[in-house]
Amino acid sequence: MKRTVRQSLQHPARHPETKNLSTDRQQTPSAIKLSSRELRRIVLSTAQNLTTMASETATASRRAYHGSCHCGNIKYAVMLTLPHLPTLDVTSDESDHIYKCNCSTCHKSSLFHVHPKTPSTDFILLSPLDPYSDLGDYRCFSGNVSLFFCRNCGVRCFSFCGQGENAQIDLDKWLRGDGDEDMEGKGKEGTATKVWRVKRGAPYFSVNAATIEPGQEGFSLKEWTEKGWIVYVDGQARRVATGAYRYLNETGIKGAVSAHCTVAVVDVVKEVVVK
C-alpha cells in the first residue's frame, strides 16, 4: 500500500491539493533522519498514548465552557467534549478539533484554534449581539474570513466565515446541553436570552482557546499540552504538519520530523483509533 497523507485542513489556509509527504521529503531541509530503532520507539510510544487517550475518551463528557476577552466586552460559551481524543482527520465533523497553525495570519495573531464539532449548536455569543458592527473585523484570505477582536482590549476570541443570526434561547437549558431551539415567537416556557450564533453550513469557525476562562472544571490548557491533544498544522506549506502530535517530541526531537516518521504515526493512529 502506498503510504501517503492526503488530507485538506478545515482552515482558511487550506489548499485544494495537499502535498504527498512521502515524496516531499526533499523540500524539508530541516527534516531529521531517524534510525529504525528510534522510529519504532516513537511509534510505540505514540500507540501507547493513543490507547490511553481512547480509554479516557470513553468517560468523556460534553459541557459548556465560558470565555471572554480581557476587558469582558466579548462574552461567549462553547460546548467541548473533554478529555479530547485528537485525530489527524481535521476535516471530520465527528469531533472537536484542537490545533495550532503556522500560517502568517494565525502565527502573527497568536491563535490557538478550537473548532467545535457543530459550530451552529456548540457556540453562542452573549455579548455583543452584532459582531460585525460592535467588534473590530480584520478580514483575511481574500476578505472571506473575519478575525473579530475587541476594540477596547484588542483580544481576538473567535474567527468566522459564513453567516450568523440572532436567536432567543433558554440559556440554562443550552448550558446543560439540552437544546438550542429559538424561543422567539413560539410561546416557550423559560427565560429567553438573546444571543448571536453561527448559521448552519458555515464553512469555517474557530474559537481562540486562549480566551476560554481558566479554572473551569475539566478545562486545563496544561493538560492539553502534556497529553498531546494539540495538532500542529503546517499552514505555510498547505499540509498537515509533520510531527503533528506533541508527544513525538518526547525523545527530545526539535523541529520537523521526517515524512517517513509521520506516515508511520498516521498508520498507528488509524490502527489504534479505528479498533
CA 141 to chain CA centroid, nearest Å: 18
Q: Which residues contact 7 (CB under 8 A, 6 or more apart)?
A: 18, 88, 89, 90, 91, 240
Q: Which residues contact 171 (CB under 8 A, 6 or more apart)?
A: 191, 193, 195
CA 182 to chain CA centroid, nearest Å: 27
Cis peptide before 128 (omega within 30 of 0): yes
41-92: per-residue pLDDT in tens? 666 666 566 655 555 555 678 899 999 999 999 999 999 988 877 776 666 6
Query: For position 28, what pLDDT does the model report?
Result: 42
DSSP letter at 11 equals S
Angle at 112 between CA 125 and CA 99, to 5 degrees: 110
What is the average pLDDT value for the chain, to the nearest integer?
A: 72
Q: Which has more confidence, 143 or 187?
A: 143
Q: How far is residue 182's CA from residue 192's CA, in Å, rounded to a whole number? A: 9
Whether the model clears a pTM of 0.95, i.e. scores above it, the answer is: no
